[in-house]
Amino acid sequence: MSKTSEPAPKRYWEDFTPGQVIEHGPRRVTREEIVAFGKEFDPQPYHLDDEAARQSAFRGLAASGWHTAALTMRLVVDGEFRPAGGILGVGFDELSWPRPVRPGDELHATSEVLEVRPSKSRPDRGLIRVRTTTFNQHDEPVQVYTGNLLVPRRPTEAAR
């Protein structure tokens, strides 16, 4: 799943600008993964059993929304976003699942940098506001969130 080429360099706060778009994925999701996640974290019939799912609002087996969120995190961590210090989400202003993820779907995601601002309290880091949209293989959105991430500022020569 991960690429064999050199990993992208870590990015500091100064490296992010509004309008940047970073692509993640793709990754296929299996029925087994959907059911395993459902059993562990969200044991509701439409995440576990085809027949029960057909009779539910989902009209067929669907991944838990939290599974979609976790899979998206994996896409982002494996991709080229790579803020220095890691992907540290401090909060989300919105999170929605416009349609379910189905067995066999192939997911990819796009992160767009919306805003870049310094931290008021900490001169060594800043905040970036990012909208990440996850799509299925038909390019239909299955998840949208807008989050705020903490990113370290590039160390000055004196601080190195």
Please report whether residue 8 would count as binding a copy of itself according to CB under 8 A.
no
CB of 52 to a copy of itself, least distance (A): 10
Residues 28 to 47 in contact with a copy of itself, rule: CB under 8 A? 37, 40-46
Amino acid at 128: I
Binding segment for a copy of itself (CB under 8 A), chosen from 5-13, 16-24, 86-94, 107-115, is 86-94
The C-alpha atoms of residue 116 and residue 11 are separated, in whole angstroms, by: 13
The C-alpha atoms of residue 69 and residue 12 are separated, in whole angstroms, by: 25
CB of 149 to a copy of itself, least distance (A): 11
Distances (CA, A) of 53 to 23, 43, 71, 94, 102: 32, 12, 21, 27, 11
The C-alpha atoms of residue 68 and residue 73 are separated, in whole angstroms, by: 9
Q: Pull the structure tokens for residue 36.
A: 């395993």
Residues 137 to 156 in contact with a copy of itself, rule: CB under 8 A? 145, 150
Query: 75: closest CA among 6, 3, 134, 25?
Result: 25
**Residue 13: Cβ within 10 Å count:** 23
Residues 44 to 63 in contact with a copy of itself, rule: CB under 8 A? 44-46, 56-57
Find the binder of a copy of itself among 17, 91, 121, 123 (CB under 8 A).
Answer: 91
Please report whether residue 71 would count as binding a copy of itself according to CB under 8 A.
yes
| 3-state SS class at 68 | helix
Please report whether residue 89 would count as binding a copy of itself according to CB under 8 A.
yes
Contacts with a copy of itself by CB under 8 A: the residue count is 35
Residues 100 to 139 in contact with a copy of itself, rule: CB under 8 A? none
Q: Which residues bind a copy of itself (CB under 8 A)?
A: 37, 40-46, 56-57, 64-67, 69-71, 73-74, 77, 85-97, 145, 150
